[in-house]
Amino acid sequence: MSQLEIKDLHVSIEDKEILKGLTLTIKQGEVHAIMGPNGTGKSTLAYTLMGHPNYTVTGGEVLLDGENVLDMEPDERSRAGIFLAFQYPVAIPGVTVANFLRSAINSRRRAGNPEDKGMPIPEFRKILKEKMDALKMDHAFAGRYLNDGFSGGEKKRAEILQMATLKPRFAILDETDSGLDIDALRIVSEGVNALSGPELGVLVITHYQRLLNYIKPQFVHVMMGGRIVESGGPDLALHLEEQGYDWLREKEMTSE
């Protein structure tokens, strides 16, 4: 069984320390949620895990089955089985959802074997159809231009379909409060629920307690001031809904 270990991670953006010693282990098959107020560094964690160049790791480690993830390029991380849902997906007019997914699969195959001729189209079509059926998506969706005029919900649908076809071992979903309508929320949740199982570890990052009414994480963590200040089970999310974050602020202060 695989595990993704984040150990005492420190990350800065433009010399300002944002993550101040974050520790978290996710095993394959587990669903974790990180919640926390705006500006605490939740997205910083997601981008750092994916290797975004603006985020400088100044301490700690991230290991995938003992292998140093921080030394890998973003595409190597993806090939190693880490998936990060794009927070702000770009529109690619002229490229259909199907073309995009096929080239993602093929570039991964080619990275493993430069001689690879790519996945035969009939095989790709079959996989795509199976995934779309599993996610209850209309097949016409695959023929649309990626993100071109997509609603918030359709962008999420493309993202979840990408996750289904790439079959990561760990998926990190950063859900911002802005632009996440109820439809999008439902699509992400149903997608995660449909894809989760013993092969997949999920980290859902959200500011939105409501998301956790749909996705049922086994582990809930609260992040404040760049570190995890509280961890618990699903009842922690309910407690936060009732009490807000104030009761935890003291904890954050004393851990400075």
Nearest approach, Cβ of residue 47 and ligand ADP (Å): 8
**8 A C-beta contact, residue 171 and residue 200:** yes
Our finding on whether 189 is near ligand ADP (CB under 6 A) is no
State the number of binding residues for Mg ion (CB under 5 A). Answer: 2
Q: Is 40 in the site for Mg ion (CB under 5 A)?
A: no
Q: What order of strands is seen across the sheet that includes strand 170-175?
A: 82-84, 170-175, 201-206, 31-35, 219-224, 227-232
Q: Does 39 bind ligand ADP (CB under 6 A)?
A: yes
> What CA–CA distances, in Å, run from 119 to 104, 124, 130, 194?
11, 6, 16, 25
Residues sharing a CB contact under 8 Å with residue 17, sequence separation 6 or more, in sequence order: 10, 11, 58, 226
What's the min distance (Å) between Cβ of 79 and ligand ADP?
Answer: 25
- Residue 131 sits in the site that holds ligand ADP (CB under 6 A): no
Cβ proximity to ligand ADP: between 146 and 212 the closer is 212
* φ and ψ at residue 178, rounded to 5 degrees: -75, 140
* Nearest one of 21, 26, 42 to 174, comparing CA atoms: 42
Q: Is 44 in the site for ligand ADP (CB under 6 A)?
A: yes
Site for Mg ion in 42-61 (CB under 5 A): 42-43
Phi, psi values for residue 108, rounded to 5°: -70, -40
What is the closest distance, in whole angstroms, from the C-beta atom of residue 106 to Mg ion in the complex?
A: 31
233 binds ligand ADP (CB under 6 A): no
For position 200 contacting ligand ADP by CB under 6 A, the verdict is no
Can residue 38 be called a binding residue for ligand ADP (CB under 6 A)?
yes
41 lines the binding site for ligand ADP (CB under 6 A): yes
Pick from 203, 207, 101: which is nearest to 147 by CA? Answer: 101
For 199, list phi and psi in degrees, rounded to 5.
-90, -15
Stretch of 36-44, 101-109, 114-122, 148-156 lying at the interface with ligand ADP (CB under 6 A):
36-44
Binding site for ligand ADP (CB under 6 A): 13-14, 18, 36, 38-44, 54
Contacting residues toward Mg ion, per CB under 5 A: 42-43
